Amino acid sequence: MLVLLGPVAAGKGTQAANAARNRGLLHLSTGDLFRRAMREGKPLGEVAQGYMRRGELVPDEITVRMVGDALAESAASAGVVFDGFPRTLEQAQALDQLLAERGSAIDRAILIDVPEEVLVARVAGRWV
């Protein structure tokens, strides 16, 4: 189990996708989980969508439940690369608990540190 942490536009998604593909692991992004749950009309997706429409962060409880559901899927059995999750202490503690229940734990956490001016340029480039 690998956790990639860092600010928006640091490259977490790109690196997580590469690491997951190269090692045969599940790439788990909470943003992807939210979008999939909404697209599939899942109850948690509808709840998350309400928060997102209001421009609010999806509460930890809902995010953790979605991650728990994803971990229960067979695709997660080989291991997971977490992309930007956990984001809060509560999420980290919940993730530790979820993994412990499955007899697993985080093997590594990597912080991707990018200079602020590079992040600003990347984010500005996404809007153009």
**What does the domain layout of the chain look like in residue ranges?**
2-127
Residue 78 φ then ψ, to 5°: -80, -20
Q: How far, in Å, CA of 110 to CA of 94, rounded? A: 19
The CA-based dihedral angle spanning residues 86, 3, 110, 27, taken in that order and rounded to the nearest 10 degrees: -120
9 and 114 in contact (C-beta within 8 Å)? yes
Give the model's confidence band at 125: pLDDT under 50 very low, under 70 low, under 90 confident, else very high: confident
- Per CATH, the homologous superfamily of domain 2-127 is P-loop containing nucleotide triphosphate hydrolases (3.40.50.300)
Segment 4-8 mean pLDDT: 94
pLDDT tens figures, 64-119: 999 999 999 989 999 999 998 999 999 999 999 999 999 999 999 999 999 999 99
